[in-house]
Amino acid sequence: LARGFASSAAAAAAIKHVTIVGGGLMGSGIAQVSAQHGNQVTLVDVSEDVLKKSRQNIETSLKRVAKKMFKDDTAKGEQLISETLSRIQTNVDLKSAVQKADLVLEAVVEKIEVKHELFSLIDNVAPESTIFASNTSSLLIGDIASVSTRKDRFAGLHFFNPVPVMKLLEVVRIPETSDDTYNKLIEWGAAIGKTTVTCKDTPGFIVNRLLIPYSSEAIRMLERGDATARDIDTAMKLGAGYPMGPIELADYTGLDTGHYIRQAWAKKFPGNPLFEPSKLVEKLVSEGKLGRKTGEGFYKY
């Protein structure tokens, strides 16, 4: 069966209806990939305008996927696009959006209060069997789950940007996560075409725990004037085989995102020099230079 179409694995999986809360870059990407692999998806955000934009972004990304998968067969490509879009519903009302969910995955702003409010609101509304998960990159899953009465059905599901392209999914267990929940999430990860890895609930899980200090060191190198941004990036691409250098990756991910992660960790784990926020990034963020998405970060676009 062609990659990207609803597979028999998806049909057999325990998770078939996914409600994604947050229509930003990550939420849209997760909605797209889930729908592409046969899930019924409900995408939730606070306004119809945001959801309209999410849908447009999903369509643009799907066109790239379709072009890549079916170079010489535009009919098949169009079928993939229309079938995927037909599986995605949007909703501004969280409570009604979780009524049929096997999994509710949040990808909203990285503020613990917002996440607490969200999970408190749906705790008694979602079906008993529904699994709750967070795509957080800076907070601990246990802290987010503290408001929930279903900690055995709570976990982290951490995706990577761009979600339709990056093959990894980190599945994060808190001590209370049941084996049944964990197994269902691992199975779902495979059904949506991702390779899963498992990690305990630690800051940054696996990838960001290594990427953030690496990125910080590259930025400190730049701040000291040891090398130019271009040369740091060229060095890591050609000398270490990375698809992007650390400075361009910081711009690509969003300087605000990296900065928030460092700030959150510095606050929670004070004194760890690896988690120190950068003054240079702080300045760029305060000037609205957030990287690629705003047209300027370390580089101009």
Catalytic positions, please?
A: 137, 158, 170, 208
Q: Which of residues 211-250 bind ligand 3HC (CB under 6 A)?
A: 211, 243-244, 249
Q: How far apart are CA 23 and CA 43, in angstroms?
A: 7
Inter-residue contact 182 to 154 (CB < 8 Å)? no
Half-sphere exposure of 103 (CA within 13 A, CB side): 30
Tell me the closest approach of the beta carbon of residue 180 to ligand 3HC, in angstroms.
27
* Residue 8 burial (CB count, 10 A): 10
Q: How far apart are CA 170 and CA 273, in angstroms?
A: 25
Q: How far is CA 115 from the centre of its chain?
A: 15
Q: How far apart are CA 105 and CA 43, in angstroms?
A: 10
Tell me the closest approach of the beta carbon of residue 149 to ligand 3HC, in angstroms.
27
Determine, following the binding rule CB under 6 A, whether residue 111 of this chain makes contact with ligand 3HC. no
Q: Which of residues 168-197 bind ligand 3HC (CB under 6 A)?
A: none
Region of 74-82, 117-125, 159-167, 193-201 interacting with ligand 3HC (CB under 6 A): 159-167
Full strand arrangement of the beta sheet holding 131-134: 88-91, 40-44, 17-21, 103-106, 131-134, 154-158, 168-173, 195-200
Determine, following the binding rule CB under 6 A, whether residue 253 of this chain makes contact with ligand 3HC. yes
Among the listed residues 61, 84, 130, 216, the single contact to ligand 3HC using CB under 6 A: 61
Determine, following the binding rule CB under 6 A, whether residue 141 of this chain makes contact with ligand 3HC. no
Determine, following the binding rule CB under 6 A, whether residue 161 of this chain makes contact with ligand 3HC. yes
Q: Which residues bind ligand 3HC (CB under 6 A)?
A: 61, 64-65, 68, 137, 160-162, 164-166, 208, 211, 243-244, 249, 253, 257
Binding-site residue positions: 22-27, 45, 61, 68, 110, 115, 137, 161, 293
